[in-house]
Chains A and B, each alone.
Chain A
Amino acid sequence: DQQVKQNSPSLSVQEGRISILNCDYTNSMFDYFLWYKKYPAEGPTFLISISSIKDKNEDGRFTVFLNKSAKHLSLHIVPSQPGDSAVYFCAARDSGNTPLVFGKGTRLSVIA
């Protein structure tokens, strides 16, 4: 049973436009959410996070939105750049002693 779902395996966006990556979760106990970015042959790197007490967190070109009632979060990248092409993983955890739960990832391709 997947607790964190990324239903779009891939997304293609033109350079300069907005990229929107979506993530849904089923566990209502999750209270912290993270996005990781992974380039080929490298380990995932932390990108941005959001606590359940917030509905938005912004860091430069990256913004994460959280809709708790819908159990949905999204990552917005604007403007998208070719270097943003990577696999993006959504992750979540609860406040207990449990490790991060990851989604299957969305492969973003930013076309110049």
Chain B
Amino acid sequence: GAGVSQSPSNKVTEKGKDVELRCDPISGHTALYWYRQSLGQGLEFLIYFQGNSAPDKSGLPSDRFSAERTGGSVSTLTIQRTQQEDSAVYLCASSSGFVTNTIYFGEGSWLTVV
């Protein structure tokens, strides 16, 4: 597609429920990144993919968070048993290669856990 596409754009969920956030990167981009921005905070790195592999998962806040990428394209970030502190904007970005310094962001998925 023309840009990074994320869905849903907004999600309100009850504490304890699972949520899935989807990212469709720019066509042909091999690297894909997940960041999140909590209220008053900067962009916190979560995980990145080079192709379908995620070399570094250390940014994931807890084992309730997982992500996968299939076919070198779409990625899904899953949060299990959501907590109120998971409320944030989850931003996906992609780039044409990991050594490429410019990454392109989607509009984000706003998650509110009530």
Contact status of A34 and B102, CB under 8 A, knowing A44-B91, A99-B33, A99-B48: yes
- Chain A residues with CB under 8 A of B108: 42-43
Is A43 in contact with B106, judged by CB distance below 8 angstroms? yes
Which residues of A have CB within 8 Å of B41?
Answer: 104
Q: State how many residues of chain A have any CB contact under 8 Å with chain B.
A: 23
- Complex Cα distance, B101 from A4, in Å, reads 16
Partner of A41, one of B35, B105, B107: B107
Taking a contact as CB atoms under 8 Å apart, the answer to whether B101 and A32 are in contact is yes
- Within the assembled complex, what's the spacing in Å between the Cα atoms of A11 and B42? 16
A104-B42 in contact (CB<8A): yes
Beta-carbon contact of B43 and A102 below 8 Å: yes
In the bound complex, how far is the Cα of B31 from the Cα of A100, in angstroms?
Answer: 12
Partner of B105, one of A43, A93, A101: A43
A89 & B105 in contact (Cβ 8 Å cutoff):
no
Give A contacts to B, CB under 8 Å: 4, 6, 32, 34, 36, 41-46, 49, 89, 91, 93, 97, 99-105
